[in-house]
Amino acid sequence: MAPLLEVKEITKRFGELTVLSGINFGVHKGEIVGIIGPNGAGKTTLFNIISGYLKPTSGTVELNGESITGKPTEDIAKCGLVRTFQKPNVWPAKTMLENVRIGLHTRARVKFIDAFLGLPKAKRAREAEEVEAMERLRLMGLNEMAMQKAANQSYGRRKALGIAIALAANPQVLLLDEPVTGMLDTETRRMMDRIRKIRDELGITVLVVERHMKFVMGLCERIVALDYGQKIAEGTPDYVTSHQEVIDAYMGVD
């Protein structure tokens, strides 16, 4: 079965500096795949290329067999690939519920004309929207503070909100950029359960970049290891972490 998301020979150069060279891997539907590597390995650059924030120097990214390389982020999101951000990225002046409702926008079933005229169809769609938004919040454990402003929430909650917003856009593939960086152990463990639930209940495929090794080992079924812009290993967590090159990359070679 062909992979849902395929990264083919992705290379990125900034002038003389080669940040990524010939990255190849695929993510199958329903998998939770992790990308690991020391600082400077190119993980964030790879993420930015897949999600459309950067154009690769060469290579392609394919979603469902169709190329999404170089497309603007908003188009890629509409195709079904949504990313979250390393730093909590929310709409601070709005409530948690409103934040998620904005994410539902891509699938707004309210036609402009209906809303313009204020038809009851529009009202019912709006109520359905609220129910859906609450669902996403519940999944991320945020339903109790749905009416609070996003700016007042803790770091961990705002990151969780970022994921809830991304979920509202109904992705097939969810790209999580360091979802537990800066979080407490308890929050990290909860996040692992939540991500598994996202995959199990919503059928969303997950690609996650993370430096917290326990998190990656416990959550991901497959891991891709990068170092200096190259893929140095790919396989199950046990395989990758016992791979000599990976150990060298993290521990340094004498």
Site residues (CB under 8 A) for other proteins? Answer: 51, 72-75, 77-78, 82-85, 89-95, 98, 101-103, 105-106, 108, 110, 112, 115-116, 126, 147, 149, 165-166, 168-169
For residue 50, the minimal CB distance to other proteins (Å) is: 12
For residue 214, the minimal CB distance to other proteins (Å) is: 28
Cα–Cα distance for residue pair 166/51, rounded to 1 Å? 13
The amino acid present at 131, given as its one-letter code, is V
Residue with smaller CB distance to other proteins, 29 or 126: 126
Cα–Cα distance for residue pair 205/151, rounded to 1 Å? 29
For residue 165, the minimal CB distance to other proteins (Å) is: 6
Residue with smaller CB distance to other proteins, 115 or 134: 115
206 is written with which tokens? 């997950």
The amino acid present at 218, given as its one-letter code, is G
Cα–Cα distance for residue pair 179/84, rounded to 1 Å? 8
Q: Within 13 Å of residue 166, how many CA atoms lie on the same side as its CB?
A: 31
For residue 183, the minimal CB distance to other proteins (Å) is: 20
Residues forming beta bridges with residue 20, ordered by sequence position: 12
Residue with smaller CB distance to other proteins, 36 or 97: 97
Residue with smaller CB distance to other proteins, 11 or 95: 95
